[in-house]
A and B are shown apart, each in its own frame.
Chain A
């Protein structure tokens, strides 16, 4: 028997036991088997595509999805189309920008939409601050490209200032929408599992 992906003999016969339709058998050569087995347990693209397919069945029409596909993040420029084809988002701000489209997806994948568990001890940057820092970094790279080193060093200072501000564990910020003091693991209540 030949490998499913090349002409070499299939010496590994791998069975995925978690396919909803029952076990799926794959016949692979040593190299492809190694590659396959060393990948993450579940393929993100497959999970995302599967969850999106469910979402479609649950109400979104093809036309709605086509419109959604055009939507582009103003920070990293990724389109929803690119995201659903690769399974990967472009920047932290995508979770805010695509929020209403991601929430049903998270529900399908995790059966939950809210984080429970560990939090950073210091302030987390708000979605807006993170977006601002990423944009500043882009501007800095552009300034360097244009040999405008004065502007580039101004931006570097601004980035340093922002990071320093966000590194204060107890600091107060004007933008409090998603900035809270962090509690340590030991302070967390038991039995957080909602399953």
Chain B
């Protein structure tokens, strides 16, 4: 039950990457880098026997625990966790949905600041990831590169002279590196320029994924930009493609669109974001998608100076803390969907009201 207690305390805090600071943090929520690595002396996961998976998990765990500076790392056996705890780690972005749903031996090692995590027995034997608030790929790379070096000192990686780090799927082979930058782009959505911006980027080896909320174009505000290829380009070249070429261009478009909205449409915009904040302040029950929709508007309002008594870090945290497993962990019990809607509304109000004075969440 130790993990249960630990998770409850984890639920009240937030990862470093949600602190709402760092370069371009009005638009860039987070930067994530992950590396896919495999052990040289085991088949890839798909062809592993149960014994192989156990053996990989034990080997990796023992070698990580023997590493210097490893004593603060929390090593979590995913197989032993309840469904809610697994979902909690997914919401937290510490593990993937795939590893949460898989069977057999699997684990994750997490540092205390939740800046990085190492998944064991995901699609590849190791998936190392680093999260960073704002757009700071070089800092994220420095962390993951050093972590990878340390792991490589303890674990024999599957590596091919010509094809690089060998991965279960050929779409990851070579560097095994995926850079993903999460952007908040409400103004490009409102001004209906978003498709045009992304269509112009299709040629340049990046993947863009968007999330649209219910009913209207208005709420599709979060987009993730990632590199598409992993072979034939150095890690620095891939970081530069996403972090120096593509993302700054999108940021520039979003800023222009925001400036345009403020200039042309300030009353309507102010009304819209104030109503969103009003609903979050007063609703007695609210779904997670509705919450996301209104938090997104409030976030833009804060960044445009239309709302001055809420902090971006608070909104970032609320995006995560109002998700189903987080609410349940914060409550310490399993909640049905309609109970969650009531608790979510109450949670939002406590935190939005509570912080009006000093801007603190917890």
Q: Which positions in A face B, CB cutoff 8 Å?
A: 11-18, 23, 30, 33-35, 37-42, 44, 47-48, 75-78, 86-92, 95-96, 102, 105-106, 109-122, 124-125, 127, 129-130, 133-134, 137, 141, 144, 159, 162-163, 166-167, 177-180, 185, 188, 190, 192-195
B233 touches A18 (CB 8 A): no
Inter-chain contacts of A116 with B (CB < 8 A): 174, 232-234, 237
Interface residues on B, range: 35 or more
CB distance from B54 to the nearest CB of A (A): 11
Given the contacts A37-B211, A120-B152, A194-B233, A89 and B226 also touching, CB distance less than 8 Å: no
Among A90, A121, A188, which residue has its beta carbon within 8 angstroms of that of B234? A188
Across the interface, name the chain B residue whose C-beta is closest to A116: B234
Bound-complex Cα distance A7 to B161 (A): 50
Across the interface, name the chain A residue whose C-beta is closest to B210: A15
Bound-complex Cα distance A14 to B209 (A): 8
A115 touches B40 (CB 8 A): no
B97 touches A35 (CB 8 A): yes
B211 touches A12 (CB 8 A): yes
A192 touches B199 (CB 8 A): no
B236 touches A90 (CB 8 A): no
Which interface residue of A14, A40, A90, A195 has the most chain B CB atoms within 10 A? A40
B159 touches A133 (CB 8 A): no
CB distance from A147 to the nearest CB of B (A): 15
Bound-complex Cα distance A124 to B211 (A): 41
Across the interface, name the chain B residue whose C-beta is closest to A91: B43
Inter-chain contacts of B157 with A (CB < 8 A): 120, 124
Inter-chain contacts of B46 with A (CB < 8 A): 78, 86, 88-90
Inter-chain contacts of A95 with B (CB < 8 A): 160, 163, 166, 173
Inter-chain contacts of A33 with B (CB < 8 A): 211
A11 touches B289 (CB 8 A): yes
Bound-complex Cα distance A30 to B230 (A): 31
Inter-chain contacts of A117 with B (CB < 8 A): 164, 174-175, 177, 233-237
Given the contacts A78-B47, A92-B160, A122-B152, A137 and B232 also touching, CB distance less than 8 Å: no
